[in-house]
Amino acid sequence: MRAEVVAVGTELLLGQVIDTNSAWIAEGLAAVAVDCNYQTTVGDNVARISEVLKVALARSDAVVVCGGLGPTPDDVTREALAEVMSVALERDPEALKLVEQAFHARHREMSPSNKRQAELPEGAHLIAQRIGTAPGLVCPVGERVIYALPGVPDEMKEMFERAVLPDLRERSGAPGVIASRVLRTWGIGESQLGEMVAPRLAILDRVGEGGPTIAFLARGLEGIQLRVTAKAATLQTARATLDREEAALRELIGDGIFGVDDETMAVRIGALLIARDRTLAVAESYTGGLVASCLVSAPGASRWFRGGVVAYASSAKRAFLGLGEGPVVSSDAVAAMASGVRRLMGADVGLATTGVAGPETQEGLPAGTAFAGIALDGHEPEVVSFTLFGERQRIRELGAMNSLDWLRRGLEAEG
């Protein structure tokens, strides 16, 4: 089965907004083994939208079109759909009720222009909206189909998962269920990760069609993710396959995997600290608050995060954290910072960062030189050094993530 994605919006063609919908939909299609060979972006223009939809329908079984379902005069996806289907656009009583209900639920006045959102090409079916005000549409064209969804990402995603994916799967005649699981990794380069996973990929290749699949997703500061997808007759069987694949991948990758599905680095560290009944404090130099900010992103962080010190000026490091007179970008300094902030904040664990973010050198060291330190109750502080590459902001971000991942590995290793 082949599907493609069409994004509608002049703001996309002017570069005023970056389209993230198409990649999200494409990932969803790939996860259910629907091929996607093309994505197209087109402006708010009836003739051009319908031309693009016709081209897409000629080469694919299904088209997902996003955007242009709003109430303003430049929202013309409905008109283009009617043209492609060669039918009239008519106000639908059920659609009108849905739009009225959406406004009522929000205690908002419905303007006459919102009635346009209740117009449907003849023969189209509604996808009731749950988040915004615009219903989605399922438009059959012969044996093929166009799904029209709102351009607002949250509204689009909810409808895609609830209505489009199940309909696509039914049309493709695929039996059973599809389930997937994301394994989050940090600290291993993409090519090295590829080599580590290669033996498992070779085994799955021999299983072939119908067996589980593994995809690599490069997610920047969230790390490289492995998405395992399994098809089966029941959800239970699919989950058993995912469990088996996860175990096999953990065997190959080891503690390079830090989290599963929605488990971010901060959530994982929080869980480890809670399990060990410990609290954490951080002292940051070049990362300047990024480490603390990442930790606080985890809901409920107040259970285990005491706080931090951003000791940016060297004098601040000496004044608060008890650093001696030596260089501040050094393993001695980062060890003293970790111990200092642990004491200062009354935490069980102290994590510290120091380094050169650039663009200038510092203490004769080039940009990208960095250290992290961990102080634990009753132990000598441990220190690690990193060499980071990139611009100032990139060095800071990589350094923050590397430091957090090193803490995560340390906590895990303690058992």
Q: Binding to its own copies (CB under 8 A): which residues in 316-355?
A: 316, 319-320, 344-346
Task: Return the residue of 287, 339, 353, 402 that touches its own copies, per CB under 8 A.
Answer: 287
DSSP single-letter state for residue 398:
H
Pick the closest to residue 389 from 360, 358, 365, 362 (CA basis).
Answer: 358
DSSP single-letter state for residue 327:
-
Q: What part of residues 175-194 is at the interface with its own copies (CB under 8 A)?
A: none
The smaller minimum CB distance to its own copies, of residues 85 and 309, is found at 309
**DSSP states of 149-168:** E-SSHHHHHHHIIIIIHHHH
Q: What part of residues 38-77 is at the interface with its own copies (CB under 8 A)?
A: 38-43, 45, 48, 52, 55
Task: Return the residue of 293, 322, 332, 386 that touches its own copies, per CB under 8 A.
Answer: 293
Which single residue is written with the structure tokens 């996003």? Answer: 66
**DSSP states of 339-363:** HHHHHHHT-SEEEEEEE--SSS-BT
As measured in angstroms, the least distance from the Cβ of 272 to its own copies is 18
- Select the span of 213-221, 229-237, 269-277, 373-381 touching its own copies (CB under 8 A): 213-221
The sign of the dihedral angle between the CA atoms of 262, 266, 270, 276 is: positive
Contact between 289 and its own copies per CB under 8 A: yes
Helices 46-59 and 77-85 cross at an angle (nearest 10°) of: 50
The smaller minimum CB distance to its own copies, of residues 120 and 185, is found at 185
Phi, psi of 184 (to 5 degrees): -95, 130
Q: How far apart are CA 283 and CA 120, in angstroms?
A: 59
Task: Return the residue of 159, 267, 295, 334 that touches its own copies, per CB under 8 A.
Answer: 295
- Select the span of 210-218, 269-277, 377-385, 403-411 touching its own copies (CB under 8 A): 210-218
Which single residue is written with the structure tokens 């004044």? Answer: 319
193: its two tokens: 């990760």
As measured in angstroms, the least distance from the Cβ of 213 to its own copies is 11
- Select the span of 139-147, 158-166, 296-304, 330-338 touching its own copies (CB under 8 A): 296-304
The smaller minimum CB distance to its own copies, of residues 61 and 255, is found at 61
Contact between 105 and its own copies per CB under 8 A: no
Could you give the string, one character per residue 355-394, with x where binding to its own copies holds by CB under 8 A and - elsewhere? --xxxx-------------------------------xx-
Q: Which amino acid is at 217?
A: L
Contact between 33 and its own copies per CB under 8 A: no
218: its two tokens: 């490069």
